[in-house]
Amino acid sequence: MSDLASRATVLAVDDEPDLADLYRAYLDPAYDVRIATGGEAALEEMDESVDVVLLDRRMPDLSGHEVLEAIRAEGYDARVAMLTAVEPDADIVDMPFDDYKTKPVTRDDLLTLVEVLLHRAEFDERSQRFFALASKKAALEASDATDTEEYEELVGRLEAVRDRVDDTLEELSARDAFAEGRGEVP
């Protein structure tokens, strides 16, 4: 992306200033990066121009969960990844984030995460929900936290969304086939 006006904006939130600066160094060549070293500072930096938020869970003033709830309550449409040293547990099932990564992360991990989240932002709401649920499921499986009611509920929700996404894709395929048959291919 050579045009600065079209560069995505990433807000990296971590209460360890050195780590927040490292994230900026990793991401700055490709994105406009803002950093915040606490929950209150994150909410001050947050606005409609932020495309992706990388959010630590444990911070002294506001927790990542509280910041996430405030971001969603304000109606911001940014994709949010929890980027934390906290191993996921059943408590993540109802948190409205898009992805969950456990620290430490490499430069490549961080760049890939932001790229994936920006790509997902182009999807419809149902597809975004599917990927968010799939990310939670993968995080819980990676931390071996699969023997809970919350995990089972998550798997059920994921399957229900997957079925709806599959139905939508079938409908679109049938409509495209009909249009092709009539010579109306876009």
Q: Strand, coil or helix: what is 123?
A: coil
Of 172 and 114, the structure prediction assigns the larger pLDDT to 114
Predicted local distance difference test score (pLDDT) of residue 176: 52
CATH superfamily for domain 4-181? Response regulator (3.40.50.2300)
In 3D, which of 69, 66, 83 has the Cα closest to residue 10?
83
End-to-end CA distance of the chain: 28
The strands making up 79-84's β-sheet, listed across from edge to edge, are 32-36, 9-13, 52-55, 79-84, 99-102
pLDDT tens digit sequence for 79-118: 999 998 888 888 888 889 999 999 999 999 999 999 999 9
Domain ranges of the chain: 4-181
pTM of the shown model: 0.76
* DSSP result, 53-91: EEE-S--SSS-HHHHHHHHHHTT---EEEEEESSPP-GG
* 10 has a pLDDT exceeding 50: yes
- The CA-based angle 4-6-8, given to 5 degrees, is 95
Are 102 and 137 a contacting pair, CB within 8 Å?
no
Instruction: Give the confidence band of 9 by pLDDT, cuts at 50, 70, 90.
Output: very high
